[in-house]
């Protein structure tokens, strides 16, 4: 499996998290959909880590290639700070294990990268797609709100796990590389508010298809970094 080899700028560590997540998932997803025994077995193991801290599942070490996270991110050759490296590793772990749960028994890839405003696959829009057209399901919305207000990453992963199970049931895809980048940012000072705003923005901006007969259409918004304030996103837990 290939990993990034270029030296990135300090601000690019979140991008590296997204890239590594995408590379790991693409390889596994391709193998799983081709019914390759090695990939099928890997997903079975990864699913046991969904909602758990990385140190709780040492048997998963080696299944997720995070080697490039240790490469220099500064032009002078300095490696990431220990706290940033830990955040990055945890973000990749949570995203990949949640995807493995999402992909279980599905015949199409549940990780689908967003393609701008015409075809995003962010968490807020995905949750909105769980709801009836033109209606807000408060029970489902509360799951998203509680995830955003999780007190720590372990709790967040557990609450996201519940959402992922709903997405799997309905066959709704998610951009896990995007999610991984947000999980990294969520752990940084001030990052939780940024991520909550991004989820709220894509949730409220999503528009359902006008003509279902044309198939599953492009969504209308993605989980971007643009701030979005909404009373709906207050803690409902």
Among the ranges given (54-58, 88-92, 221-225), the one the predictor scored with the smallest mean pLDDT: 221-225
Q: Would you say residue 219 has pLDDT above 80? A: no
Q: CB 195: neighbour CB atoms within 10 A? A: 24
The predicted structure's pLDDT at residue 1: 44
The predicted structure's pLDDT at residue 74: 59
Tell me 8's DSSP state: P
pTM: predicted TM-score of the whole model, two decimal places: 0.81
- Average the pLDDT over 16-31 and give the result: 95
Among the ranges given (57-61, 66-70, 113-117, 151-155), the one the predictor scored with the smallest mean pLDDT: 113-117
The predicted structure's pLDDT at residue 38: 95
Cα-based distances in Å from 7 to 14, 71, 77, 83, 119: 13, 7, 8, 19, 30
Q: What percent of the chain has pLDDT over 70?
A: 78
């Amino acid at each position: 499996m290939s990993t990034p080899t270029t030296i990135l700028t300090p601000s690019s560590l979140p991008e590296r998290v997204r890239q590594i997540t995408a590379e790991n998932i693409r390889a596994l997803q391709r193998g799983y959909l081709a019914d390759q025994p090695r990939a099928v077995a890997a997903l079975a193991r990864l699913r046991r880590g969904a909602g758990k801290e990385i140190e709780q599942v040492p048997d998963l070490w080696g299944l997720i290639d995070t080697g490039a996270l240790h490469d220099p991110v500064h032009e002078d050759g300095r490696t990431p700070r220990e706290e940033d490296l830990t955040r990055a590793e945890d973000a990749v772990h949570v995203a990949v294990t949640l995807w493995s749960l999402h992909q279980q028994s599905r015949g199409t890839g549940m990780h689908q990268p967003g393609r701008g405003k015409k075809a995003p696959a962010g968490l807020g829009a995905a949750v909105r797609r769980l709801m009836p057209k033109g209606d807000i399901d408060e029970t489902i919305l509360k799951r998203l709100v509680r995830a955003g207000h999780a007190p720590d990453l372990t709790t967040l992963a557990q609450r996201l796990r519940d959402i992922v199970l709903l997405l799997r049931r309905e066959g709704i895809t998610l951009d896990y590389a995007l999610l991984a980048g947000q999980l990294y940012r969520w752990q940084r000072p001030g990052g939780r508010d940024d991520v909550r705003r991004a989820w709220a923005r894509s949730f409220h901006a999503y528009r359902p298809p006008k003509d279902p007969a044309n198939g599953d259409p492009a969504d209308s918004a993605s989980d971007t970094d643009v701030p979005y304030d909404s009373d709906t996103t207050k803690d409902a837990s």
